[in-house]
Structure 1
Amino acid sequence: MADLFATDDSEKPLDANAPLADRLRPRTLDEVVGQDHLTGPEGAIGRQVAAGKLSSLILWGPPGTGKTTTARLLADAVGLRFLSISAVFSGVADLKKAFAEARDHARLGQRTLLFVDEIHRFNRAQQDGFLPYVEDGTVTLVGATTENPSFELNAALLSRAQVLILNRLDANALETLLARAEALEGRPLPLDPDARAALIASADGDGRFLLNQAETLFSVTLPAPLDPAGLSALLHRRVAVYDKDREGHYNLISALHKAMRGSDPQASLYYLARMLTAGEEPLYVLRRIVRFASEDIGLADPQALVQCLAAKDTYEFLGSPEGELAIVQACLYCATAPKSNAAYKAQKAAWRSAKETGSLMPPRNILNAPTKLMKQIGYGKDYGYDHDTDEGFSGDNYWPEEMRPETYYTPVERGFEKRIAERLAYWGELREKKQR
């Protein structure tokens, strides 16, 4: 069985047959690209290195942004022994072995930086197992995760470690990596300027992916530099990073909701496309748009809900990809409709009032009286039948006797709700006249 533990190999000579990404791995923190906000003199890492003392850290960032490399270089920079484990392949026995090794080295005066890749994959009990060894200084823990630590890591562990956010690599950082690759290979990539820009864009901020693609390009013999079409034909398209059950999923659906609420159809379409092209279940997205039609449009445009439900029927009838156009139509309708959360606020207020007032009896005059006894005790007595009035409005009191009338729903002065507001005002005037 292969050893689960990796120790520092930063001093090993470069293997000419190693992957390009490994051969280009930075040897000092200064060579790490795209993370100057952390590694620079004023950054959290830069300051700790200058002080020669490292606290436990959680490195949070997308794939290919240098989390593992940064941890390894941190150990070198402050003189710690580097020990690496992966939460994917390790269990409790492996953790115990790592802690025992660290304790043995501590007795000899050699402190250990324990790097835990994919630390979020350890369960809560396993995460708790780190606490005593972090607290007594047996190890300086540096964990790496692509997931939001607030959701995936124990509060106790987070309280003992500083969370540092690594940025997705921008175009300048990715260009720097390509230039280093070309210098190492001693020749330029076989790309025209537009294809080079397309290659950088396809990496989606992932430096490792970019270098793997560059390695493929270096391995082929081409008669002329590739244009974007030629590059696309040669390399597989990168699938967007998107986990349906993790933070990226919730971030994008939140962005879609906010863009529709902000009446920006262009941004709404962008986030809709991000989710659907990444493989999100179309009916999940549509369910969120239906909810939006009630929560953020409501009676300002009653047709919004109708449009969304029609889109659901259309998608179920046609399937993908034809039915996705109906989802686009519903999204655009909602993004461009007048907005009101009056119904949403009314629901919350009415629900709260119902819980507070309990089981109050409605006024007897509006209750049906199917039996003689119920008639005798006043059920239905003096009920005002609205259709018998000239205005079609009786102005009766419909609230329990122990409760004052409440106002839950206040329509806005936009869209169809403006007409509703006018009706409510008219009925309010009639009610006052009838109660005089």
Structure 2
Amino acid sequence: MDLKNHTPLAERMRPKELAGVIGQDHLTGPEGSLSLSIKKNHPFSMILWGPPGSGKTTLARLYAKSFDLPLIQLSAVTSGLQDLKKNIQEFTATPLFGKSRFLFIDEIHRWNKSQQDFLLPFIERGDFFLIGATTENPSLTVNSALLSRVRVFTLNPLGHEHLSSLVGSYEERYGPLHLDQEARESIVAMAQGDGRYLFNLVDGVQALGKDKPLSKEELSLFLQKRAPLYDKAGEGHYGLISALHKSVRGSDPDAALYWLARMLEGGEDPLFLSRRIIRMATEDIGLADPQALAVCLSAKATYEALGSPEGELALAEAIVYLSLAPKSNALYTAYNKARESASKTAHLPPPLHIQNAPTKLMKELGYGKGYLYDHDLEYAFSGQRYFPKEMERESYYSPKEIGFEREMKKRVEWFDRLRTKLNEEGA
């Protein structure tokens, strides 16, 4: 290897032709979208959405090269509207006799709405074809006006076989990598689907200058473990908490523990997790297991008392308990129905007989008149109406035949029968 070449290895290893891009056959294969576009000589604007190291920049460069058109590259991290205006002025100053150009904007999700909107008329007129690259969901980070003018392509993280192929390509070019088979597997796993990071690891191994193959244990002494891929503020945050919640709802404690660990290892705030766990107890278990809420509240208190890492076990305990608890959303559904009714009838007062009468005038107007004190009656139940008089009595809560809600269902039905009986007798 040429030690005098300070160009990063990942840059040197970029493929020279579109066919050399691996792991994105849905775009670069014979029937891939980009391949067909090139074959038909029909370029278009696009957003490339994919994880780090999946080949977005490489695809942008090779796509432009295939049409023999210039590619202007900007990074939304370091460039703003002034840089964009400057490049567009250069476009108009140097006509290409009917030809267009490509404008590549890396990390396009970092530009705000006004910066993205500035691109619109130039794309409309065909002054350039836009290629945007992003690691964030474009539907959440790119404005709709721009999305309507481009095609969005999703790139996949590189699989184990793709990363192994990259190691092989390196060895064909620069010679054997001094790692035994287990250590080779280890750096592929450490890359987590990121080709750029893999080449950084390979470069680090070769920089050690070892003559004999390193073992996995020896490798771990020289290479730092990669921090887990996790965006605490973006889609990754919401995607993983959704996966955790749905695993609990689906009664899979193993999957739930996995997603909990992914989030904690990624640096998620444990108190955020504890609040979401409490929400799971009320939304998905409810009165099917009233103890679930107490377990989750105790887990939060335990974490606050112990901190990390000891307190994390309390969160794991709550997750397993919730996963294996009987599930019912009857309470959650009932409350949402009640909210809907409340929003439509907020102008209706409570019936007079269940309102207090602290003044003489209110007593004369009938406040509190006819109220029956339930504790003085048989079964401690009067069967009176408690809804506004303008409303029919509603039924929101329908317990399920599962867990403790079986008992709640018996009670609901018993009170319903008793209410009907008392109302018939009163009539």
For normalisation by structure 1, the TM-score amounts to 0.93
- Among 394, 402, 411, the alignment partner of 1:414 is 402
Q: Deviations over 1:43-78 (max 9, x none)?
A: 111110111121001011111111111111011111
Q: Distance in 1 between matches of 2:355 and 2:39?
A: 79
The answer as to whether partners of 1:105 and 1:111 remain within 8 angstroms in 2 is no
1:245 corresponds in structure 2 to: 233
Give the aligned residue type for 2:342. Answer: A
Give the aligned residue type for 2:365. Answer: I
1:10 corresponds in structure 2 to: none
1:125 corresponds in structure 2 to: 114
In the alignment, is residue 65 of structure 1 matched against residue 59 of structure 2?
Answer: no
Per the TM alignment, residue 356 of structure 1 is displaced from its structure 2 partner at its CA by 1.1
The answer as to whether partners of 1:120 and 1:153 remain within 8 angstroms in 2 is yes
Q: Distance in 1 between matches of 2:104 and 2:265?
A: 35
Q: Distance in 1 between matches of 2:112 and 2:406?
A: 53
For normalisation by structure 2, the TM-score amounts to 0.95
2:131 corresponds in structure 1 to: 142
Give the aligned residue type for 1:217. Answer: V
The answer as to whether partners of 1:120 and 1:152 remain within 8 angstroms in 2 is yes
Question: 2:104 aligns to what SS in structure 1?
Answer: strand
1:391 corresponds in structure 2 to: 379
In the alignment, is residue 93 of structure 1 matched against residue 82 of structure 2?
Answer: yes
The answer as to whether partners of 2:49 and 2:154 remain within 8 angstroms in 1 is yes
Q: Deviations over 1:9-39 (max 9, x none)?
A: xxxxxx8443221221100000001111111
The answer as to whether partners of 1:64 and 1:209 remain within 8 angstroms in 2 is yes
2:198 corresponds in structure 1 to: 210
In the alignment, is residue 179 of structure 1 matched against residue 162 of structure 2?
Answer: no
Q: Distance in 2 between matches of 1:96 and 1:36?
A: 35
In the alignment, is residue 404 of structure 1 matched against residue 383 of structure 2?
Answer: no
Question: Aligned residues, how many?
Answer: 422
Q: Distance in 2 between matches of 1:98 and 1:258?
A: 47
Per the TM alignment, residue 87 of structure 1 is displaced from its structure 2 partner at its CA by 1.2
Structure 2: gaps (5+ residues)? none
The answer as to whether partners of 2:178 and 2:211 remain within 8 angstroms in 1 is no
In the alignment, is residue 220 of structure 1 matched against residue 220 of structure 2?
Answer: no
- Among 235, 239, 261, the alignment partner of 2:223 is 235
Equivalent positions of 1:311-322 (< 5 A) are 311-322=299-310
Q: Distance in 1 between matches of 2:298 and 2:337?
A: 30
1:11 corresponds in structure 2 to: none
In the alignment, is residue 348 of structure 1 matched against residue 336 of structure 2?
Answer: yes
2:181 corresponds in structure 1 to: 193
Per the TM alignment, residue 270 of structure 1 is displaced from its structure 2 partner at its CA by 0.7
2:271 corresponds in structure 1 to: 283
The answer as to whether partners of 2:49 and 2:153 remain within 8 angstroms in 1 is yes
In the alignment, is residue 371 of structure 1 matched against residue 359 of structure 2?
Answer: yes
Q: Distance in 2 between matches of 1:402 and 1:110?
A: 72
Per the TM alignment, residue 218 of structure 1 is displaced from its structure 2 partner at its CA by 1.6
Q: Distance in 2 between matches of 1:96 and 1:223?
A: 53
Q: Distance in 2 between matches of 1:385 and 1:88?
A: 69
The answer as to whether partners of 2:351 and 2:386 remain within 8 angstroms in 1 is yes
The answer as to whether partners of 2:50 and 2:135 remain within 8 angstroms in 1 is yes
Which deviates the most, 217-226 or 80-89? 217-226
2:155 corresponds in structure 1 to: 166
Question: 1:65 aligns to what SS in structure 2?
Answer: coil
Question: Which 4+ runs in 1 deviate beyond 4 A?
Answer: none
Q: Deviations over 1:195-235 (max 9, x none)?
A: 22221111011000001101111222335423322222220
Q: Distance in 1 between matches of 2:175 and 2:346?
A: 80
Percent of aligned pairs with the same residue? 52
Per the TM alignment, residue 366 of structure 1 is displaced from its structure 2 partner at its CA by 2.3
Which deviates the most, 144-153 or 363-372? 363-372
Per the TM alignment, residue 371 of structure 1 is displaced from its structure 2 partner at its CA by 3.2
Per the TM alignment, residue 265 of structure 1 is displaced from its structure 2 partner at its CA by 0.7
In the alignment, is residue 302 of structure 1 matched against residue 263 of structure 2?
Answer: no
- Among 4, 11, 15, the alignment partner of 1:26 is 15
Question: 2:73 aligns to what SS in structure 1?
Answer: strand
In the alignment, is residue 35 of structure 1 matched against residue 24 of structure 2?
Answer: yes
Which deviates the most, 367-376 or 147-156? 367-376
Q: Distance in 2 between matches of 1:107 and 1:322?
A: 65
Which deviates the most, 49-58 or 109-118? 109-118
Q: Distance in 2 between matches of 1:16 and 1:211?
A: 15
Q: Distance in 1 between matches of 2:128 and 2:359?
A: 80
In the alignment, is residue 153 of structure 1 matched against residue 142 of structure 2?
Answer: yes
Please report the RMSD computed on the Cα atoms of aligned residues, expressed in angstroms. Answer: 1.6
Q: Distance in 2 between matches of 1:104 and 1:372?
A: 88
Structure 1: gaps (5+ residues)? 1-14
Give the aligned residue type for 1:320. Answer: S
- Among 48, 61, 69, the alignment partner of 1:80 is 69
Q: Distance in 1 between matches of 2:342 and 2:99?
A: 66
